[in-house]
Each structure stands twice: as C-alpha cells, then as structure tokens.
Amino acid sequence: MATHSHQDLFPHGLSAGAKLLVYLLLSIVLITIDARFRVLKPVRAAASIAVFSLQETVQKPWLIWRKMDAFFTRQSQLLHDNQNLHQQSVLWHLSQQRVNHLEQENQRLRALLALQQQHTLQSHAAEIIGVPRDPYERKITVDQGSQQGIQAGSAVIDEAGLIGQVTRVYPLTSEITLMTDKDQSVPIQINRTGERAILFGDGSNHGATLRYLPNNTDIRVGDLLVTSGLDGFYPAGLPVATVTHVDFASNRAFALVVCQTLGAVDRNRHVLILNTAKNSGHTH
C-alpha cells in the first residue's frame, strides 16, 4: 500500500511540456519528409475523400430541406399567380359582357331613333323603369308622364314592332299595358292578303291569338300581321306579330290561329311612345 502511494505522489515518465516538444519535432519531421518526398499525398487524398463524404452526409438534410422549401415556395407562387389570372379572366369576361350589352343597347337605341325619324307623328323615347312581380301581369312602367306630353291610349312600339298601349298616365311616369295582356285587343291586317281581324293577347310573354276567323280564311304560318289603323289609336302598318300555327277544324266554326308578337319588351329597356291618342282616357 505504501509503495502505490509513493508512485502516485511522484509519477514517472515525460512531463507534459516534454510531450508537446516531442510532438512538435515529430510534426516538423513529417512535414519535411512530405515536402521532399510527397509520402503523405495518398493519406491526404484519402482524408479529403473522407472529409468530403462526411460534409456531404452532414449537408444532405439541409440540401433536401432547401429543395423542399423551394418547391413549396414555387407551388405557392404558382397558386397565387393562378388565382390572380382567374380573377383577371373573370373581370375581363364581365367587362366584355358589359361592352357587348352596351353595344347591343346602342344598336337598339339607334334603331329606335331611326324609327322615330320615320314617323310623322310626335313621339317620345322612354325607358322602362318598372316591371310587375306577377309574371301573369302584362304591364310595365316608363319614365315619361303627363309633364312630358304623354296621353293615355297612345301606342307604344320598339324597333321590332308594336308593344302595347299607354293605359295610365302620372305626372312623371306612365303605365303601359302590353298587347299580350288578356284584356288587350289590336285590330290587325294580314299583310299578304289584306284581310282584317282582331288579335287578342293570351297572357304570355309573346303569345297572341286571332279569333273569329272563318275556316276558309287565307292565312298561313309565317304570315305577317300589321295594324290596320281602323281603331284610331294604332297607326296603320305597324308590325305586330307573325303566325306560328294554323288549325282548320271541321268541328269548329272558326280557325285556331296562334301568333308570336314581334315586340321585345322583355329584352329591351327603351320604347317609343307615339302620340296617337285622340281622347285621353280611352284604351283598347
């Protein structure tokens, strides 16, 4: 036990300083030998390969992360760009539809203006500002009234043909009963033959029927019907409707004639009111 304690107190061997000096000398010798004879070149090559492999292994997760981050960043940017392009496409289509609508409305207004110039009667251009919520009520409201010279009973047309008749007049607005209303009737003339008849509305958007025509009447599908002008309210020669169906049945006293009106009040915003009323308050 005493021997071991003595050895621990007085250790034998080189001191730390001596070891450092030995390592320095050994390093200098190796550097000198390597500089002269290149003996450590294979060792350095192997070490560089090992270090490169180690660096690549250590950096691989970081490189993978960077690639993934770049991928998701590109995906996010592509999605954002796609959303922007979609929004721009929607806005462009809306803008194009509005331009097309304005062009069509401009064409209708030009046609209405040309129609107004053709008529020798005093007329007023009016804009539709109200339609009934009830789909079976065939009336509209326009922005012209008694202060603009509108009279009850006046005929109302668009560029395609007759629409209806002014039935009520207020100071700034007027109510127009469409010719398709079941209570409306229009004296017409078959344009091809000159035969006269009465056209009645059927309550639909463009439907009307000719009543009390004998079965031997010369009338065909496609015939144009125009106003006869015999009632004093509608000027003669206004396009009214075309015949779409004719049925001559032996068990009926009169022919069944179905027509389609030409006026497009359900698609147009502007109409022309002709000052044709002779007696205010009379309607057909």
282 or 42, which is more confident?
Answer: 42
C-alpha to C-alpha distance for 104 and 262, rounded to whole angstroms: 17
Contacts of residue 283, Cβ cutoff 8 Å, sequence gap at least 6: 152, 153, 165, 166, 167, 177, 233
- Residue 273, pLDDT above cutoff 70: yes
pLDDT exceeds 80 at position 203: yes
pLDDT at 6 over 60: no
pLDDT value of position 58:
73
Percent of the chain, pLDDT > 70? Answer: 75
pLDDT at 276: 73
Round the average pLDDT of the chain to a whole number and report it: 79
Q: pTM of the predicted model, to two decimals?
A: 0.59
Q: What digits encode the pLDDT tens for the residues 110-134?
A: 766 666 666 556 788 888 998 887 7
As a whole number, mean pLDDT of residues 128-155 equals 88
Q: Predicted confidence band at 204 (pLDDT cuts at 50, 70, 90)? A: confident
pLDDT at 165: 93
Q: Quick one: pLDDT band at residue 13, thresholds 50, 70, 90? A: low
pLDDT confidence of residue 157: 87
Q: Does domain 123-274 have CATH number 3.90.550.10?
A: no
Where are the chain's structural domains? 14-118, 123-274
| Confidence grade of residue 177 (pLDDT, cut at 50, 70, 90) | very high
